[in-house]
């Protein structure tokens, strides 16, 4: 159990670091991005463990990566300026 939690936390941290490294101009502060990646990965591993009741490390890491990536995508800001119409 500890190995799965530690592995998913490291995976979430690596995903968050990679996202911040490539998209730092579109993301908020680094601490928030790193914390979101780790929390998403831990939550994803928990969901996979609860839903599938499997002790397979690979499936838990896949779930951790999916939820961590989805959580990080919610932090992205638009790349360019948003143009609003004057009539809206």
* 59-70 tens-digit pLDDT: 899 999 999 999
* pTM for this entry: 0.84
Higher pLDDT, 53 or 80: 53
**Structure-derived torsion over alpha carbons of residues 37, 39, 40, 42, reported in degrees to the nearest 10:** 120
Summarize the confidence of residues 70-80 as an average pLDDT: 89
* 28-72 tens-digit pLDDT: 999 999 999 999 999 999 999 889 876 788 989 999 999 999 999
């Amino acid at each position: 159990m500890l190995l799965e939690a530690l592995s998913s936390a490291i995976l979430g941290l690596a995903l968050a670091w990679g996202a911040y490294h490539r998209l730092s101009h579109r993301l908020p502060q680094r601490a928030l991005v790193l914390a979101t990646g780790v929390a998403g990965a831990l939550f994803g591993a928990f969901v996979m463990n609860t839903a599938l009741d499997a002790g397979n490390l690979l499936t838990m890491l896949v779930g951790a990566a999916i939820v961590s990536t989805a959580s990080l995508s919610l932090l992205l800001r638009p790349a360019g300026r948003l143009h609003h119409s004057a009539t809206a």
